A and B are shown apart, each in its own frame.
Chain A
Amino acid sequence: MYLHPEFEKLTRSEIEALQLERLKRTVRQCMNTEFYRKRFAENHITPDDIRSLSDLSRIPFTTKQDLRDSYPFKMSAVPLSRVVRLHSSSGTTGTPTVILHTQKDLDEWANAVARCLYMVGLRPGDIFQNSSGYGMFTGGLGFQYGAERLGMLTVPAAAGNTKRQIKFITDFGTTALHAIPSYAGRLYEVMEEMGIDPRRDTHLHTLIIGAEPHSEEQRRRIEQMLGVKAYNSFGMSEMCGPGVAFECTEQNGLHIWEDYYIVEIVDPVTLEPVPEGEVGELVLTTINREAMPLLRYRTRDLTRILPGACPCGRCHLRLDRMKGRSDDMIILKGVNIFPIQIETVLMQFAELGNDYLITLTNEEANDLMTVEVELNAFSDDYRRLQSLTKEIARQLKDEILVTPVVRLVSKGSLPKQEGKAVRVRDLRKTLI
């Protein structure tokens, strides 16, 4: 049941004691980096000031911009000769960022991913196929090393080439697959075209889904389509990659490994801690990393901590499924809206397919949201089509407090990519 009982079975007070010890060590390590040395000096902080976990709040946040400014090696806490790997972001939105790893960091990363996979019942003997992109994208190598560490036959199928992906699944008898949620839907569509019934013709029993925010309804759909149990995975390249938080078999919240990270949830505007259980931005401090420790890193991911104990027995905090990125938040007519709210409503309609596209426009200072949805099931009745659009618009209004224009489109007509799905287009012009 536990791959690492010595960590997974810790009580709250044991977790906190371990965190304090590791935090103190991490802060001392940070003094080896050019970046944190300067930042501590500016804020008159020394490692000795950190005597309890609550002292963490004295340290300023670290942001994505700080990572960019430190590109490539200014945040290294070890000599470059001890660094064995780097992962870099694409930098499509600015200067790229770099994350450095020592051999111990890579080992600990693999351990974390292996722990997650073991937690959902995967064992040596399972055949694990990874449809992530390899290379710089951490979902590739991260799952590869983790699955190998667990002792599974691991297939680095990588992204794309859906027909070959499916051939591997059937030929090798793949039992567990890692795929982003929109790609899981795509796999099913192509299987259908190829005349393959995933329940009958494959040995798939477990799907690991992450990287893209998705709703509970979408997960249930994927599970039902492919005949698998699907578990939500959360990671980010700044925190190594996959293996940060993962669902247990309860499928109710993602345990974040607190022997690796200290978790805070803050209001993205005021940066003050949110009241217990409320949604805010996830802030993480790495406490089990050598090459590039990060203190109070603002992840931009929005979530909340689920209250209460998990029936699985682990005391590591549970994060609610990600509510999107604080960057993805749509502000329409002054209302804050997350695409996941819209998806949750749409998934309740059996007549609709898995894809949708939100377009924001403005005319004469009036913001307008158009939601295009794919019609899946169809009946020869104009009135029913009209009442369907009305009902979707009404339910969306209840959820997001803004009435969108709902447009039915035919199946397969929305932009679809092998990578992440396009969900939001903001075509609003600045009216000044």
Chain B
Amino acid sequence: MTVQQISIFVENKSGTLLRVLELFKEARIQLIASTISDTVEYGIYRIICTEPVRALETLRQAGISADVSEVFAIELDNIPGRAADAVRMLSEAGIGISYLYSFLLAGKGILIFRTDNPDRTEGVIAERGLRALNDDSLRSLA
């Protein structure tokens, strides 16, 4: 079970990020979470939002290089240490995490991540009883 994440190619120059956010504003699509790190020339801006399909369409029409991908979303109880527990489960199964970001939503901790082995990750989630979210269940929290 996964959620849709929008990835946007952004050049490191002023106004690029604003242009993307203005497009979301005009289209009235809300961000649930987003992350970008500093890079020399370009970065990947990753967004979880309320309407990923329409967001992608909007971005592409504006000539922005963007794609949609499936990432894992795990819901955790808002108790210290839960994130460590979840990541340990993945680590013990020999799964590598490509990137991860987290936030609190409606009193729940949410981990968003991509791994190098999606099949095994699905297996770990099922066997170890992690609560995975899909687009609908994530949206219902937001």
Contacts and interface: CB of A to CB of B under 8 A. Distances in A.
Interface of A: 193, 375-380, 382, 385, 407-413
B107 interface: no
B63 interface: yes
Contacts of A378: 7, 9, 65-67
Contacts of B63: 411-412
Contacts, number: 42
Nearest to B9: A378
A385 B42 contact: yes
Contacts of B42: 385, 408-410
A380 B69 contact: yes
B135 interface: no
16 contacts: A193-B61, A375-B9, A378-B7, A378-B66, A378-B67, A379-B69, A380-B7, A380-B44, A380-B69, A407-B41, A408-B41, A410-B16, A410-B42, A410-B65, A411-B64, A411-B65
B130 to A, nearest CB: 22
B44 A408 contact: no
Interface residues of B, number: 18
Most buried by A among B11, B16, B46, B114: B11
Most buried by B among A193, A385, A410, A412: A410
Interface in B45-88: 46, 61, 63-67, 69
B38 to A, nearest CB: 13
A264 B117 CA distance: 63
Interface in B1-39: 5, 7, 9-11, 16
Contacts of B66: 378
Given A378-B67, A410-B64, 11 more contacts: A193-B61, A377-B65, A380-B44, A385-B9, A385-B44, A407-B41, A408-B42, A409-B42, A410-B10, A410-B16, A411-B64
Contacts of B11: 409-410, 413
A380 B42 CA distance: 13
B16 A382 contact: no
Contacts of A376: 65
Contacts of B16: 410
A375 B11 CA distance: 11
Contacts of B61: 193
Given A408-B9, A409-B11, A379 B64 contact: no
Nearest to A413: B11
Interface string B112-134: 00100000000000000000000
A408 B40 CA distance: 12
A73 to B, nearest CB: 50
Contacts of B64: 410-411
B65 A380 contact: no
A376 B67 CA distance: 11
Nearest to A192: B61
Nearest to B69: A380
Contacts of A409: 11, 42
Contacts of A379: 7, 67, 69
A381 B9 CA distance: 10
A409 B41 CA distance: 9
B99 to A, nearest CB: 9
Contacts of B69: 379-380
A375 B44 contact: no
A90 B34 CA distance: 52
A411 B10 CA distance: 10
Contacts of A410: 9-11, 16, 42, 64-65
A376 B66 CA distance: 9
A386 to B, nearest CB: 10
Nearest to A412: B63
A410 B63 CA distance: 8
A380 B5 contact: yes
Most buried by A among B9, B44, B61: B9
B20 to A, nearest CB: 10
